[in-house]
Amino acid sequence: MSSDVMVDVVIPVYNEEEALEGSIATLSAYLGAHCPCRWRIVIADNASTDRTPEVGRRLAEASARVDYMRLEQKGRGRALRYAWSHSPADVLSYMDVDLSTDLDCFMPLIQPLAEGRYGVAIGSRLAPGAKVTRGLKRDVISRIYNLIVKVLFPRKRFSDAQCGFKAVTQAAARELLPVVKDQAWFFDSELLLKAEARGYRIHEVPVKWVDDPGSRVKIAKTAWEDLKGLWRVRWGG
């Protein structure tokens, strides 16, 4: 992999004052030791109301390889869209601030994109070889959701729409972001469905993944919004 390739790692955050500093330190140390590319970490704050902005700005001031950007509206999809749209990097990736996915999966995620073999890559908790530690409720909901995606889109080939560990090339982002409408959690699923509809092959990395018991994701509300999103993409354009 060429050292000339530039990689952005976006961390979308909302009220993560407690986890942010430790996660950025861990990620920075890992990338410094294992990533041969030029890299940058981008903290994409979508309307946090706690001390996240203060922490994010301080981290950015302390390191030339950490940037902080602030959006005044909530939405993980909105944060990713903005960060990726304003990035000059060759490969655009993101991961959740809790670092639930083992960082050893990062280079296998981005390498095929950096080498020009794929335009989209995802971590998968459902692919053969994945090692997942999570509660039964979340596991069942995730499997049911991905089964619904398969039923509604029989030609889809990716196994896990929702894992917070994805990457796209700059060229793929320019083509796909304008056609992805969702600004929240369904952004991931819509991105993958629109990518496959446009002929992109999606590289999957079986991940080692540990559930964050402190996650504040509202499962029922998110599931309902995801189902409405699937309906829109399948029948509403």
Model confidence band, residue 127 (pLDDT cutoffs 50, 70, 90):
very high
Q: Does residue 237 have a pLDDT over 90?
A: no
Beta bridge partners of 71: 46
Give residue 138's pLDDT band: very low, low, confident or very high (50, 70, 90): confident
| pLDDT confidence bin for 221, thresholds 50/70/90 | confident
Exposure letters 50-83 (e unless 16+ CB within 10 A, then b): eebbebbeebbeeeeebbbbbbeeebbbbbbbbb
pLDDT at residue 217, as a whole number: 62
Q: How far apart are CA 178 and CA 164, in angstroms?
A: 21
How, if at all, do strands 6-13 and 91-95 pair? parallel
Convert the pLDDT of each residue in 6-62 to its tens digit.
999 999 999 999 999 999 999 999 999 999 999 999 999 999 999 999 999 999 999
Mean pLDDT, rounded, for 98-115: 97
pLDDT at 216: 57
| Mean pLDDT over the full length of the chain | 94
Residue 212 clears pLDDT 80, i.e. is over it: no
Per-residue pLDDT of 150-203, as tens digits, reads 999 999 999 999 999 999 999 999 999 999 999 999 999 999 999 999 999 999
pLDDT for 86 equals 97
What percent of the chain is helix, strand and coil (3-state, nearest 5)? 45, 20, 35
Domains of the chain (ranges plus CATH)? 6-235 (3.90.550.10)
Q: What pLDDT shows up at residue 208?
A: 97
Which residue in 206, 203, 1 sits closest to 102, CA to CA?
Answer: 206
**What pLDDT is attached to residue 215?**
59
E-assigned strand segments in 100-201:
120-124, 131-133, 165-169
- pLDDT for residue 214: 60
pLDDT at site 52: 98
What pLDDT, on a 0 to 100 scale, did the predictor assign at position 218? 63
Higher-scoring residue by pLDDT: 224, 189: 189
Residues involved in catalysis: 188
For 40-49, 70-79, 98-107, 128-137, which range has the lowest pLDDT when averaged over its residues? Answer: 128-137
